[in-house]
Structure 1
């Protein structure tokens, strides 16, 4: 069995954390990814770009769903960006998209996660 790994780049935004993942999310790599994602989502809203993830197995999908639930428990939340067609199909079949927003862009993900400020709302009303 070959070693698999997921590379993770974490970028701190003003009000959220953006994570870029690449590699394979499988039984071997998912536990270390879960640990770090849980740490991050416990602190701030999390946008996870999975466009570089070439493969998800059941454990990889489970880690994503568990991280999203952790975000809900902590009051932060998580959204995914860049899901490839096959894993997205699995997310939808398993109805995981009801727990984890699947977004087409980081901007859309932020709309799903961040509460609007009074200034932003006031600007829309003017």
Structure 2
């Protein structure tokens, strides 16, 4: 059996954490990722950059769902960026997109996750 792994890079922002994932989220690799994501989302909102994930199986989907549930419990949350078309279709078929926003950019993900400050709203309106 082929050994699979997921590479994870964690970057702390001012009010959120960016997590860049690459590899295959499957039965072999997802359990090691799951615990780390649950710990991270317990502390602050997560933007999961998944453009480097070539494959999600059921365990990979469960990992995302469990992370989302933990975020809901903790009042934080997650948003996905860079979802490939087939993967996005699976998320929509399973209605996971109703709980986990599928965003086209990190900026959009932050708009989904973080309350805007007055200065941010003024800056946006001033464009």
| Structure-1-length-normalised TM-score | 0.95
Distance 2:52 2:122 in 1: 38
Cα distance in 1 between the residues matched to 2:124 and 2:79: 24
Change (3 A) 1:121 1:62: same
Aligned to 1:12: 12
Q: Which runs of 5+ in 1 are unaligned?
A: none
* Aligned positions of 1:1-126 closer than 5 A: 1-122=1-122
Runs of 4+ in 1 over 3 A off after TM superposition: 121-126
User: Is there any run of 5+ residues in structure 2 with no aligned partner, and where?
Assistant: none
Shift of 1:90: 0.5
State the Cα distance separating 1:118 from its structure 2 match. Answer: 2.9
Q: Once the 2 structures are TM-superposed, how far is the Cα of residue 24 of structure 1 from its aligned partner?
A: 0.2
Question: Cα distance, 1:65 vs. partner?
Answer: 1.1
